[in-house]
Structure 1
Amino acid sequence: MSGPAPPTRPGLPWRLASAAVMGSVGALSRGFLYGLNNVEVTGLSNLLRVLDRRKDVENRQRGLLTVCNHVAVLDDPLIWGILPLRYAVNVENLRWGLGAHDICFKNKFTTTFFSLGQVLPTHRNWHSPHGGIHQPTMTQALKLLSSPREGDGPEPPFFSTDGKDSHMAPAAYTANRNAWIHVFPEACCHQNPDSTLRYFKWGISRLILESDPAPEFIPMFVHGTQHIMPEERGWPRWAPRVGKRFRMVIGEPTDVDKVFGHHRAAWRRLVDKGDADLLRDGQEAVQLRIDVARAVRDEIEKLRESMGLKPEEDETAALAETWAKEPNKRKFRSPVDGSLINRH
């Protein structure tokens, strides 16, 4: 005898509140970008074409994974001001993001606001012992990106990030599956004069290797928000600057299997061995995550150079160990490349 069917959507009050948050923030972001700055977006049709195809939730066959560099504290939501307003209120066709638990979820008000804004509470190793790529939030992100598996029962309606808190589990609702997940794999604001990239953290590798089925993949590169919210800005520090040049390049959508198919095949071979410890910490699994994160970074680097920015000269910048010498501080000037870092 089969169990109860999973719920399709959150209740109407939650959906209306989420549409109000997402719609108002989207409208403010678009108004600020296009009304007070100079905007150049290349490849916007690449993203809109995919979103148009994904409007019918019931007919989605897979998720969407977008990836971008991170240069300013307002990158999200500001970069989504590029979307025409008709997209801003269809919350089931908008991105889910990962937000810092210690900032976005530090009290009841911010927790409610960012949850309605489709942000998942994420612990970071810099600030919390509950961080890392195996934290419960990553499980939620993977489920959102993937299709429900046949025979699975209803998902728990809530989840905890640390054994003490409680958050609504968006993956419990079938309309949220095969979702759009957006990731900033640098995981901190990196303001470098040449707009170079840091290494990409391995959470992006989990989303690529373990999602089922393989999602569509769209790389992006943003340039200019570091001038809108420069780390060395003076008073009023809270205010974004205006009259700046904002540029964004959006790559062609492709199937993750076309770019990372051999990595995913290697992962499935590891899964078939049935050793949980091997999947978590085994040398092959770790190397796969390193390789995938670097391959994703290479896709973003191509877009960066397409803007006419200086090609990367230091190949070791893609390696985590290169950046290990940085201090465990929230804000600092990196000893690696002299960039301004904000682990906001």
Structure 2
Amino acid sequence: MSSRASSPTSEMPPLQPSLPQRMTSSLVMGVTAGLSRLFIYGLNSVEVTGLERFLDILDKRKDVDKRQRGLITVCNHVSVFDDPIMWGVLPFAFHFNPSNHRWSLGAHDICFKNAFLNAFFSAGQVLPTYRLQHSPHGGLFQPTVPQAIKLLSSRPFLQPGTSGKALEDETSISGLPPIYTQNRYSWVHVFPEACVHQHPKMFMRYFKWGVSRMILESEPMPDVLPIFIDGTQHMMSENREWPRFLPRFGVKFRVAFGEPVDTQKIFGDVRARWQELVRREQSKSQVPQALGELPDELKYGDEAVKLRIEVARRVRDEVLKVRASLNYPDEEPRELELAETWRGEPGKDRFKSNVDASLVNKRQ
């Protein structure tokens, strides 16, 4: 075991990545976002609402030392093109500062399958997400989720007396970046549907519980801002023919940035119940847990599961509010928000759903 794993509190995280790493990230993120902006504004029509409000939030987060909490943005997911295309609506000035740009989650078996892609997506602040059908590391309790929780939080990540097992496990998984002091209270973007879902009326699937963990376990509770997008499903339709790798253009692209969620009002009660559950479990074991490290009862216990379900439902409702502001028809039926509604779908990467006839791509 390394000295870092055996004595997790003996060293402070480094301040920031090396200068070459910072320059590479700035270049990769800036050029990618610039190309995205040129594509959507040069070859499509664009409608953006709430952008000034969102830019004001980012402006206030420029100074890392003045940040008071992390930021989670949540959005529906309608194409493999959503990220980075959706960030093309941000002005160029916002793309060359990785410390004030989003971290996102990308499929490990696609985004990190070779050395070049690993380097590119790591520089682009993408965390490798493992899927159970492709990796034994997949699922809600994979190392990527604690990594996102730490990015959203402040230090210390490990409490005195902690064994450091979580840190050791995480560093054994390729693709996870180290945590730097500069990354405290970061911005993490999540597509909680966790797969592309193309429905003609822009209905959404249920939201998976990774976002619930981030809201319940990050310290302090992060800010949450919902977003709704429409149009990229026509740029990269799941039933497109050859050449599949080329995006289509001449599309109306819509992005709506919602109001920041009143997190205490919306999530305060469930977070208080979660914290009480954590206190009960720690009183039994008398062992402090690392941030993001959970005993079995907090992973699989009935109360913990219920709390994650409730948080995911409330997050989805916040995205639905933004959807409603764009005058889309109400969802039908409301059972679309429940995981069990979707359990009978085919066990394939790409398929037409037998639940709502949408086109689904889980390989993205």
Which TM bucket (shorter chain)? Answer: over 0.9
- Contact residue 64 and residue 217 of structure 1 kept, 8 A: yes
- Contact residue 105 and residue 127 of structure 2 kept, 8 A: yes
* Secondary structure class of the residue paired with 2:281: coil
Matched, 1:170 2:178: yes
Q: What is aligned with 1:41?
A: 48
**Deviation for aligned residue 1:5:** 3.4
The residue type equivalent to 1:35 in the other structure is: G
Q: What is aligned with 2:291?
A: none
Question: 2: CA distance between counterparts of 1:296 and 1:211?
Answer: 16
**Deviation for aligned residue 1:329:** 0.7
* Secondary structure class of the residue paired with 1:99: strand
- Contact residue 144 and residue 176 of structure 2 kept, 8 A: no
Q: What is aligned with 1:313?
A: 332
Distance 1:151 1:110, change over 3 A: closer
The residue type equivalent to 1:170 in the other structure is: P
Q: What is aligned with 2:214?
A: 207
Q: Which of 228, 232, 238 is the equivalent residue of 2:235? A: 228
- Contact residue 159 and residue 168 of structure 1 kept, 8 A: no
Q: Which of 84, 98, 102 is the equivalent residue of 1:77? A: 84
Question: 2: CA distance between counterparts of 1:211 and 1:140?
Answer: 10
Q: Percent identity?
A: 55
**Deviation for aligned residue 1:166:** 2.8
How many residue pairs match? The answer is 339
The residue type equivalent to 1:51 in the other structure is: L
Question: 1: CA distance between counterparts of 2:81 and 2:168?
Answer: 27
**Deviation for aligned residue 1:13:** 0.7
The residue type equivalent to 2:234 in the other structure is: H
- Contact residue 29 and residue 96 of structure 2 kept, 8 A: yes
* Secondary structure class of the residue paired with 2:317: helix
> Which whole-Å deviations, capped at 9, do the CAs of 1:263-305 have from their partners, x for residues lacking one?
1001001001025222111100000001110111111111112
In structure 1, the gaps of 5 or more residues are none
Q: Which of 237, 243, 256 is the equivalent residue of 1:249? A: 256
Question: 1: CA distance between counterparts of 2:176 and 2:128?
Answer: 11
The residue type equivalent to 1:329 in the other structure is: K
What TM-score do the two structures reach when normalised by structure 2? 0.89
CA RMSD, 1 decimal: 1.9
Distance 1:147 1:162, change over 3 A: closer
Question: 1: CA distance between counterparts of 2:157 and 2:112?
Answer: 33
**Deviation for aligned residue 1:257:** 2.3
Distance 1:159 1:251, change over 3 A: farther
Matched, 1:288 2:307: yes
Question: 1: CA distance between counterparts of 2:198 and 2:57?
Answer: 30
Question: 2: CA distance between counterparts of 1:160 and 1:22?
Answer: 29
> Which whole-Å deviations, capped at 9, do the CAs of 1:214-260 have from their partners, x for residues lacking one?
11110000011101111111222111111100011111113422321
Taking the TM superposition and a 5 Å limit, the aligned residue runs for 1:1-344 are 3-149=10-156, 163=172, 165-171=173-179, 173-274=180-281, 276-343=295-362, 344=364
Question: 2: CA distance between counterparts of 1:127 and 1:316?
Answer: 28
The residue type equivalent to 1:326 in the other structure is: E
> Which whole-Å deviations, capped at 9, do the CAs of 1:160-215 have from their partners, x for residues lacking one?
6695x4335332x0101100000000011000111100000010100111111111
In structure 2, the gaps of 5 or more residues are 1-8, 283-294
- Contact residue 126 and residue 328 of structure 1 kept, 8 A: no
**Deviation for aligned residue 1:57:** 1.2
- Contact residue 130 and residue 161 of structure 1 kept, 8 A: no
- Contact residue 8 and residue 174 of structure 1 kept, 8 A: yes
- Contact residue 136 and residue 161 of structure 1 kept, 8 A: yes
* Secondary structure class of the residue paired with 2:212: helix
